[in-house]
Structures are given as C-alpha cells and as structure tokens.
Amino acid sequence: MKTQVAIIGGGPSGLLLSQLLHRKGIDTVVLERKTRDYVLGRIRAGILEVGFVNLMREAGVAERMDRECFIHDGTVISYGDEQFGINFKEHTGTSVVVYGQTEVTRDLYDAREKMGGQIVFNVDQVEIHGADSDKPYVTYQVDGTAQRIDCDYVAGCDGFHGVSRQTIPLDVRREYEKLYPFGWLGVLSETPPVHHELIYASSERGFALCSMRNDHLSRYYIQCSLSDAPGDWSDQMFWDELRRRIPAEAAEALVTGPSIEKSIAPLRSFVTEPMRWGRLFLCGDAAHIVPPTGAKGLNTAASDIHYLYHGLVQVFETGDTEGIDRYSEKALARIWKAERFSWWMTNLLHRFPDQSPFDLKMQRAEIEFLRSNRAAQSAMAQNYVGLPY
C-alpha cells in the first residue's frame, strides 16, 4: 500500500490530522491498535480552546459540537469556604467550549467514514522504518497478516504508550518528566451539573473538580492516593468526600446518582524533544502529557496538529519544507507554556504529602493573590482559554 502520510493512532490527534489533510486532497492511512468502540469508550476531558474549535470547523466536523456544546465564560475557584470567579471573557474576550473528548472523537470517526477515510483497526506489531530516510515505510500486522505502507511522511499520533516516540533513537531524544504524588478519581454520573460553570476546589482534604458533559451528564473528580483503586471507593464514599471538598452551597445542591464510569488516572508532566526525526513527526500524547488540572491535553494536541497540518500542506503543494522544518520548534514553544500552566494550576490547588506549614501558607497566598489581583486573573484566563498558535 502507498500513501502520502501514514498516521499511527486513531485518537483525536490522528483523526483530526487525517480529516484536515483529506480535505486538502492529501492521502492518509490511519493505523489504530484498538477498535473504534474501544477508542470511543475512553472517558477523557471536555474543555476545548477556541483554537481546537476552529480546527474542528476547518475539518468540517463542528456541526454537532456547535449544536450541543456549552460555552463557558469563566470558572469558579474555591478554597476552604471561600470562592471566587475568573471571568475568561472579561479578560480575554473569548470563552471555552465544553464538549466531551469522546464526542469529538465520535464526530471525527463519523466524518472519516463519511469521506471514505482509510482507518485500519486492530493493528499489531506496528513498526516505523526509514524515518530518517527519504523513503519511510510502516509495517504492521492485521488478522495475523503482515502489511506494509510506503509513505512520504509518518505522523506519530499513538499516545504516550505508542511506538512512535520509541522510534526516535535514545541519543536523539531528550525527555523531561515530573510525576505527581497523587491521582484523580473520576466519576461520570447521569445527574445534572452542580453549577453552570466548573468548580476547581482546593480543600485541606485535597483537590476536587466539578465538571460536566451536558445538562444530564456530570463529571466529578477528587484527588486520591496513588495506592487507591476505583473499587476502594463506593459511590457513596465518593459523593461524601466530594461534598467535603467543595463549597457548602454546592455540596448542598449536589445531585448524586450511580456512577456510570469510575476510574483513577495518575498525574504526570512529560515532554519529549525533538518532536521530529527525519520524516516522522510526533503529535499529541505521543510527545507530551500534562496533568489534567489545566484541561490542556487535547488542546496541546490541537496546536501540534495545526502546525503539522499547515506544514504538510505547504510541502505537498509547493515543495517548501519551511513549515515541517520548524514544526518541532513551534510546537514545543507552545507546549512548554501549557506544561507550565498545568503544573502551576496543579501546585496551586492540590495538597502535597510533603507540604510544610510554610508551603501551605505560600499556597494560600498564591490563591488569595489570584483572587485579588486583576493581572493575575488575566494571566490565568489567557492561559486557560489558550495561548495563540
């Protein structure tokens, strides 16, 4: 098989890149390890920056999102019994879109299938060959049969545990990582959201987040120990602990119900440099991970896709390689700012096991400075709605 761009990974990064390139007449093949239903079964975050929304529009897959999403002009931050709002719209003129990543991925799959996009599911043994040559190719197995795709370029969109990053030689790669000493226990419930905006809660018992997917589907998180397992937490234990960490008014208003999904995710900051090796380009989680506190996971994948999409269109249409030559530099410049913001919000709102009384005073002073200073609120708002591409 021959294609112009072989895309490893059928998550949001790979699907969005494939859809954008297809609309420009550039041929792609997406190789996905799992099935479509398995990919759609993953519950992920749901805050979209305007840059991501614009890419979805350019990809022609924004209709349902525009119809069903929420627009949030701000968020609530609570600490102990105190709370305050950050008005994104007032500080930046823009808002964020609330629309589940699962729905984004579903819309992308539907669009790819409608356009006859080539997606191969249940692939195994994917290997990228000759990435540092002018004739790269990818081998893989499907149903036990060996296959090969000759291509011009390879997009590694296969997430943190994929094969693409590992293809870049260790003496070329530089990796940066920070592991946080806690996880997030998340619950999805068919209940109305407790508030019309998100509530980021910092309490002496730990962090909590009240989020949503729509008027009848809510998403809640509490900071938990890395030694916890979802089965350690009954629904009642979860709701009781959530109530202890959020403002009293919200705790009172909280509508609880059976969890339809319950999972624990560890928190990690991670970046690999460079994001390009020869004709292989890493995008999204394959290259970087953020703690979910700043809702940047999907939104950093989006700016990678933006840079790579425009660079590939440029090289296929004009032969000019300036865009792809600058891909890694441009993508990393924005990624590191998102890493900083996600690290900052995580440190601001979580309890760390080794915090001294002085550390706790510093944390509270940081929150109170954010509450009282417009410049601090503007800085947070600019980062939360998304820095420019």
> Hey, which residues are catalytic here?
72, 200, 292, 296, 384
Does position 194 interact with ligand APR (CB under 6 A)? The reply is no
Q: Which stretch binds ligand PHB (CB under 6 A): 45-53, 54-62, 117-125, 346-354?
A: 45-53
Least distance in angstroms from the C-beta of 285 to ligand APR: 4
Residue nearer to ligand PHB on the CB measure, 219 or 279: 219
Listed residue (149, 120, 121) closest to 137, CA to CA: 149
Least distance in angstroms from the C-beta of 342 to ligand PHB: 9
Residue nearer to ligand APR on the CB measure, 32 or 339: 32
Say which entry of ligand APR, ligand PHB, none residue 284 contacts (CB below 5 to 8 A, set by partner kind): ligand APR
Q: Report CA dihedral (188, 189, 194, 199) to the nearest 10 degrees.
A: -10
CB 164, CB 276: distance < 8 Å = no
Listed residue (308, 22, 274) closest to 154, CA to CA: 308
Residue nearer to ligand APR on the CB measure, 45 or 194: 45
- Residues 358-387, one symbol each (x = binds ligand APR by CB under 6 A, - = not), give ------------------------------
DSSP state of 180: E
Instruction: Say how many residues touch ligand PHB, by CB under 6 A.
Output: 11
Half-sphere exposure for 134 (CA within 13 Å, toward CB): 0
Both tokens assigned to 333? 């410049």
Which position among 3, 6, 7, 9 is part of the footprint of ligand APR (CB under 6 A)? 9
d(CA 208, CA 353): 16
Which position among 8, 151, 198, 275 is part of the footprint of ligand APR (CB under 6 A)? 8
Which parts of 287-306 interact with ligand PHB (CB under 6 A)? 292-295
DSSP state of 380: H
d(CA 293, CA 343): 8
DSSP state of 195: S
Which position among 21, 62, 96, 126 is part of the footprint of ligand APR (CB under 6 A)? 126
Least distance in angstroms from the C-beta of 335 to ligand PHB: 17
Does position 74 interact with ligand PHB (CB under 6 A)? The reply is no
Element (H, E) at 189: strand 174-189
Which parts of 34-53 interact with ligand APR (CB under 6 A)? 34, 39, 44-45
Least distance in angstroms from the C-beta of 357 to ligand APR: 34
Say which entry of ligand PHB, ligand APR, none residue 12 contacts (CB below 5 to 8 A, set by partner kind): ligand APR
Residue nearer to ligand APR on the CB measure, 123 or 194: 123
Does position 31 interact with ligand APR (CB under 6 A)? The reply is yes
Helix residue spans in the chain (DSSP H):
12-22, 36-40, 50-58, 63-68, 88-92, 101-114, 164-167, 235-245, 248-253, 297-318, 322-325, 327-349, 357-372, 374-385
CB 45, CB 292: distance < 8 Å = yes
